């Protein structure tokens, strides 16, 4: 899947600085990275699901959007990703 096909990346919402750094290092466009860390803080393992719910309720997601969820486990090592079509 090419990066231009991805509508949103949702990184772990554990630290605002890390979200910005990941976006910069991976050369992602800021508009494609969704973060609600500034509103909810570190919500640990629920962060991805809270962000997805926030996106849905805020009508950020449209039918056919491709969303990459980047969960992290307790030690903050990213261990996988979920690609979903909304």
| Residue ranges per structural domain of the chain | 3-85
Please state whether beta strands 66-69 and 82-85 pair in parallel, antiparallel, or not at all (unpaired).
antiparallel
Q: Which of 5, 33, 29, 8 is nearest to 19 (CA)?
A: 33
For the segment(s) 3-85, the CATH number from 3.40.605.10, 2.160.10.10, 3.40.47.10, 3.40.50.300 is: 3.40.47.10
Q: How confident is the model at residue 85 (pLDDT cuts 50, 70, 90)?
A: very high
- Read off the pTM: 0.75
| pLDDT above 60: residue 74 | no
Q: Output b/e per residue, 11-37; b: 16+ Cβ within 10 A.
A: bbbbeeeebeebbeeeebeeebbbbbb
CA distance readout (Å), 44 to 1, 4, 51 = 28, 29, 12
């Amino acid at each position: 899947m090419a990066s231009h096909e991805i509508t949103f990346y949702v990184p772990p919402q554990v630290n605002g600085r890390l979200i910005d750094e990941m976006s910069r290092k991976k050369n992602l466009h800021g508009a494609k990275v969704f973060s609600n860390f500034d509103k909810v803080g570190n919500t640990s393992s629920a962060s991805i699901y809270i962000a997805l719910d926030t996106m849905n309720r805020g009508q950020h997601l449209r039918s056919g959007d491709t969303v990459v969820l980047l969960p992290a486990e307790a030690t903050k090592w990213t261990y996988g990703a979920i690609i979903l079509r909304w």
